[in-house]
């Protein structure tokens, strides 16, 4: 099987003040993406990404469009430098970046959608009533078994299957706290409460998905130019008619990231490039398969290193 390059995009939690600044200051094509996002949303996207403090960036309705904008700005620079991936995927919010990369959704539509997505997800559960936790050192079956033991405390579900030994759970705060206790008693190395404002990717967010569906009705979706692997079923999306429903389902369903990566490896991907802020996905992939090459691009230094590595592959 021919070796292929997969382009992957980060989700919420990857944000940091100053993200995209160096790339934008060195490449006009990147700066224009930040300016375009600002015009569409009526906010100063450059100021939000380049200068805002962590508290401002942590607001979900700011986090989601700022990460997507940074990711697409970096992607545009990679395209300018001659990079073309063979397939793509993104973690949660990152799936919107992947769909933009595949030409299925216009950037202008995606950035407006994710701002509303962030707002709807934030509003779905009253503050303090829902949360998430990262569980380290237990496999899928063990985590699923322990979650069934949390009866009478509320809803708690697996939200993200990130990589071997790391699963994120989400649900009612009391239920998540009880689940952490049971999981540690049953062999989890660590159970860490996450600083999030809502139980993302749990059934508690179905209402947010319903609101998002009304916004998706207004968006034109076109055929993908490169394959996109979906979070919901960890398979390549068959055609454009499947995309909207998958984005609705994604809000309240588990993110099957480990399975998605294994699917891409099965399709021949032996090089993964994380495009956008942070290196969290790179870390997951190294735990999923130590034999694949992994790079990230978020600033000039990482851009040049990755471009050089790609050139060596095709030389």
Token pair in block for residue 122: 């934030």
Query: What is the distance in angstroms between the CA of the first residue and the CA of the last residue of the chain?
Result: 18
Say which of 66, 92, 102, 254 is annotated catalytic: 92
User: Element (H or E) spanning 28, and its range?
Assistant: helix 28-41
- Judge whether 201 counts as a catalytic residue: yes
Residue 203 is classified by DSSP as G
Strands 130-136 and 166-172 come out as antiparallel
Phi and psi (nearest 5°) for 259? Answer: -65, -35
C-alpha to C-alpha distance for 236 and 53, rounded to whole angstroms:
37
Evaluate the CA torsion angle 62, 157, 206, 216 in order and state its sign: positive
Q: Is 235 exposed, middle or buried (0-12, 13-18, 19+ CB in 10 A)?
A: middle
Phi and psi (nearest 5°) for 208? Answer: -65, -40
- Judge whether 230 counts as a catalytic residue: no
CA 110 to chain centre: 14
Say which of 97, 201, 252, 302 is annotated catalytic: 201
Q: What is the torsion angle, in degrees rounded to the nearest 10, for the CA atoms of residue 173, residue 179, residue 181 and residue 185?
A: -170
Q: Which residues are catalytic?
A: 92, 201
């Amino acid at each position: 099987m021919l070796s292929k390059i997969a382009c992957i995009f980060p989700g919420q939690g990857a944000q940091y003040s100053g993200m995209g600044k160096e790339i934008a200051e060195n490449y006009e094509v990147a700066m224009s993406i930040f300016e375009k996002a600002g015009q569409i949303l009526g906010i100063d996207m450059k100021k939000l990404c380049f200068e805002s403090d962590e508290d401002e960036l942590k607001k979900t309705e700011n986090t989601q469009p700022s990460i997507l904008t940074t990711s697409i700005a970096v992607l545009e620079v990679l395209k300018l430098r001659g990079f073309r991936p063979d397939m793509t995927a993104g973690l949660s919010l990152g799936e919107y970046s992947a769909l933009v990369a595949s030409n299925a959704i216009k950037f202008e539509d995606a950035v407006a959608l994710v701002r509303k997505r962030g707002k709807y997800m934030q509003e779905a559960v009253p503050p303090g009533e829902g949360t998430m936790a990262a569980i380290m050192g237990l496999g899928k079956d063990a985590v699923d078994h322990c979650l069934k033991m949390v009866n009478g405390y509320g809803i708690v579900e697996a939200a993200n299957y990130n990589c071997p030994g790391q699963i994120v759970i989400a649900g009612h705060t009391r239920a998540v706290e009880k689940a952490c206790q049971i999981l540690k008693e049953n062999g989890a190395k660590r159970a860490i409460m996450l600083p999030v404002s809502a139980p993302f990717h749990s059934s508690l967010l179905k209402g947010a998905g319903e609101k998002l569906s009304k916004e998706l009705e207004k968006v034109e979706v076109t055929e993908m130019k490169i394959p996109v692997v979906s979070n919901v079923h960890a398979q390549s999306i068959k055609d454009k008619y499947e995309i909207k429903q998958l984005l609705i389902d994604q809000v309240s369903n588990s993110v099957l990231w480990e399975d998605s990566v294994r699917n891409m490896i099965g399709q021949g991907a032996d090089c993964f490039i994380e495009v956008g802020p942070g290196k969290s996905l790179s870390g997951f992939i190294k735990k999923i398969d130590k034999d694949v090459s992994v790079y990230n691009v978020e600033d000039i230094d990482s851009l040049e290193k990755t471009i050089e590595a790609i050139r060596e592959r095709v030389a």
